[in-house]
Amino acid sequence: MVAFHTHSIVEHLFDSNYILFICYTYAMTKKKKALVIMIVSTVIVIGGSLYLLLAKQEPFQTEEKTIELSVFTQNKKAAETGDCSVTKKELVKVSENTNIADATLEFLFADELAQYGEYDSVTISGGLAKVFVKNSTLPDGRPYSALSSCEIGHLTSVTKNNLTQYGEVEFVELYSPEGKIEF
């Protein structure tokens, strides 16, 4: 039986149909490999393209919720006539996740009060708000004691009117790294 089995295999090796079947199978295997390579290549190209496209886009950002805040700024018309402490009310929008006093002072020292220094922080305790600036002198190099009466009126009225509008603050003091600013 072993001889028959071996003889059967040998006969198949020379059978033209078997040879065609082997060639067809081999050819199909090459086609399948080529097809798999084409599919994988296509997936890589499409995936890479999508990655590059998405990498160029801005990251997903949620819209920040804001609140309107009343801010008091100097009334320039009144200041022109000599009363630098008169303020007017404006509405600005700030993030609802910020401390109201900080947001107000950051807004003011970015523009309205920038001539008096760089805002650092505020502490509120027992009705007293202590506003801290980062510099020991005015940005132009003068000491705070060199402020004119108009400048003092501007600085003190704007900070006081803004911080006392919420009820928990009655008094406002200004501090530099040197200590309390006296006028």
* pLDDT tens digit sequence for 154-179: 999 999 999 999 889 999 999 999 99
Domain count, the chain: 2
Stretch among 5-19, 69-83, 104-118, 157-171 having the lowest mean pLDDT: 5-19
In a domain, 41, yes or no: yes
Residues 129 and 154 in one domain: yes
Question: Is 141 inside any structural domain?
Answer: yes
Whether residue 171 sits in one domain with residue 132: yes
48/87 same-domain check: no
Q: Are residues 97 and 135 in the same domain?
A: yes
| Dist. CA 94–CA 23, nearest whole Å | 76
Distance (Å, rounded) from C-alpha 29 to C-alpha 50?
31
Angle at 29 between CA 27 and CA 30, to 5 degrees: 65
Whether 94 contacts 107, CB under 8 Å: yes
* Domain housing 39: 2-56
Q: Do 107 and 32 share a structural domain?
A: no
The pLDDT score that the predictor gives to residue 166 is 81
The pTM for the full model equals 0.63
The confidence band for 24, taking pLDDT boundaries of 50, 70 and 90, is: low
Contact (CB, 8 A) for 89 and 68? no
User: Do 155 and 96 belong to one domain?
Assistant: yes
pLDDT in tens, 30-72: 777 777 777 777 877 787 777 777 776 666 566 778 889 999 9
pLDDT per residue over 124-159, tens digit each? 999 999 999 999 999 999 999 999 999 999 999 999
What token pair was written down for 183?
């006028």
Q: Are residues 51 and 112 in the same domain?
A: no
